[in-house]
Amino acid sequence: MRRGRWIQRRDQLGKLRRHMRPGRAHLEWARALIGSERYADEASEIFNRHAGGSERTVLWGAMGSLAAELDVQLGMCGSMLLLEEEAFPKPRGDAAVASALTPAGFGCAFWKALQRVVREHGHAMPSRAANPRRRGERCAQDYETVRHLKSGSYGYVRLVRERATGAMRAVKAMNKEFMHDDVEALDREVEFLCRVDHPNIVKMRRYYEDAEFVYIVMDYCNGGDLWDRASRALKWRMPFTPGYVSHVMGQLMRAVAHLHARGLVHLDIKALNIMLTGQTQGTVPPLAAGPAGAPKPTNHELPHVMLIDLGLAQLFRPGSYCRDFPGGTPSTMAPEVWRNEVTPAADIFSCGVVFWELATLQLNPLNFHFDPKATSMTDMIEQADHFWTAGPGPVWRWDHFDRTMPSTAHALAAGMLQRCRRDRPSAQACAESAFLSGAAGAGADSKPGFPFTDDPKVAALMKRLAASHERSVLHRSIAFSIARKWPANQLPTIQAVFHALAPGGCLRVAGAARALESAGVCREAALAASRAMDLNCDGLIDWTDFVAAGISLDGPEFQATLRERFDRAASDADGLLSRAGLALLLPGCTADDADVFDLFGHLSRGTSGISWAAFRGHFKDGGVVAPAVAAAASAAGAAISARERDPGARGAGAPERSE
Indicate whether 628 pLDDT > 70: no
Between residues 64 and 227, the one the model is more confident about: 227
Chain-wide mean pLDDT for the chain? 79
225 within 8 A of 306, measured Cβ to Cβ:
no
pLDDT exceeds cutoff 70 at 556: yes
Burial class (CB in 10 A: 0-12, 13-18, 19+), 448: exposed
pLDDT tops 90 at residue 376 = no
Angle between helices 594-604 and 473-484 (to 10 degrees): 100
- Give the pLDDT band (50/70/90) at residue 449: very low
User: Of the ranges 41-55, 82-96, 416-430, 590-604, which is most confident?
Assistant: 416-430
The rounded Cα 451 to chain-centroid distance in angstroms is: 25
405: left (phi over 0), alpha (psi -120 to 50) or beta: beta
Condensed to tens digits (0 to 9), the pLDDT of residues 288-315 reads 444 445 556 655 578 999 999 888 888 8
Nearest CA among 316, 307, 312 for reference residue 421 = 316
Give the model's pLDDT for residue 656: 37
C-alpha–C-alpha distance, residues 22 and 572, integer Å? 40
Measured from the Cβ of residue 267, the count of other Cβ atoms closer than 10 Å reads 24
pLDDT tier at 406 (50, 70, 90 boundaries)?
very high
Q: Residue 240 gets which letter from DSSP?
A: P
pLDDT at 274: 96
User: Where is pLDDT greater, at 293 or 380?
Assistant: 380
Instruction: Provide the residue count of the chain.
Output: 659
Q: What is the pLDDT of residues 631-642, one digit of tens each?
A: 554 545 555 455
> What local confidence, expressed as pLDDT, does residue 297 receive?
63
pLDDT of residue 73: 86
- Confidence band (pLDDT; 50, 70, 90) for 651? very low
Residue 118 in this model has a pLDDT that exceeds 70: yes
Q: What's the CA gap between 281 and 287, in Å, rounded?
A: 15
Sign of CA dihedral 85, 339, 316, 307: negative
pLDDT band at 450 (very low <50, low <70, confident <90, very high): very low
Query: Angle CA(63)–CA(69)–CA(71) in degrees, nearest 5?
Result: 100
Domains of the chain listed by start with CATH number: 19-122 (no CATH), 130-219 (3.30.200.20), 226-439 (1.10.510.10), 456-645 (1.10.238.10)
Residues 460, 461, 464, 469: what is their CA dihedral angle, to the nearest 10 degrees? -150
Report the DSSP beta bridge partners of residue 341.
322
Would you put residue 642 in left (φ > 0), alpha (ψ -120 to 50) or beta?
Answer: alpha
**Could you give the C-alpha distances from 334 to 286, 329, 568, in angstroms and in order?**
40, 10, 53
Give the CA radius of gyration of the chain.
26
Please state, in angstroms and rounded to a whole number, the distance separating the CA atoms of residues 365 and 358.
11
CA distance 153 to 326: 19
In the structure, what pLDDT confidence band is assigned to residue 267 with cuts at 50, 70 and 90?
Answer: very high
Spatial separation of the C-alpha atoms in residues 468 and 623, rounded to whole Å: 9
Q: Is residue 575 left, alpha or beta, with left meaning phi > 0 and alpha meaning psi from -120 to 50? A: left
Burial 35-74 (b: 16+ CB within 10 A, else e): eeeebbebbeebbeebbeeeeebbbbebbeebbeebbebb
pLDDT at 246 over 90: yes
Q: Give the burial class of 381: count Cβ atoms within 10 A of its Cβ; 0-12 exposed, 13-18 middle, 19 or more buried.
A: middle
Q: What pLDDT does residue 201 have?
A: 94
Q: Report the pLDDT value the prediction gives residue 373, as an integer from 0 to 100.
A: 66
Residue 52 phi, psi dihedral angles, 5° rounding: -145, 165
Residue 137 to residue 28: CA distance in whole angstroms: 42
The tens digit of pLDDT for each residue in 59-107 reads 777 788 888 888 888 888 888 888 887 777 654 444 444 467 888 888 8
Name the residue with higher pLDDT: 441 or 394: 394
> CA 430 to CA 259: how far, in whole Å?
14
Are 639 and 594 in contact by the 8 Å Cβ rule? The answer is no
Find the range with the poorest average confidence among 16-20, 61-65, 291-295, 434-438.
291-295
Q: Is residue 414's pLDDT more than 50?
A: yes
**528-542 pLDDT, tens digit each:** 999 999 877 778 899
Which among 658, 466, 610 has a CA at the least distance from the CA of 552?
Answer: 466
The secondary structure of residue 36, as a DSSP letter, is: S
pLDDT band at 653 (very low <50, low <70, confident <90, very high): very low
Is the pTM higher than 0.75? The answer reads yes
The pLDDT tens digits for 579-592 are: 999 998 887 788 88
Quick one: pLDDT band at residue 138, thresholds 50, 70, 90? confident
Strand order in the sheet with 143-151: 134-135, 204-209, 213-219, 168-175, 155-162, 143-151
Cα angle 635, 480, 30; round to 5: 50
Kindly report, residue by residue over 188-205, the tens digit of the pLDDT: 888 888 888 999 999 888
Task: Summarize the confidence of residues 230-245 as an average pLDDT.
Answer: 92
Decide: 309 and 154 in contact? Cβ < 8 Å.
no
Q: What pLDDT score was predicted for residue 626?
A: 55
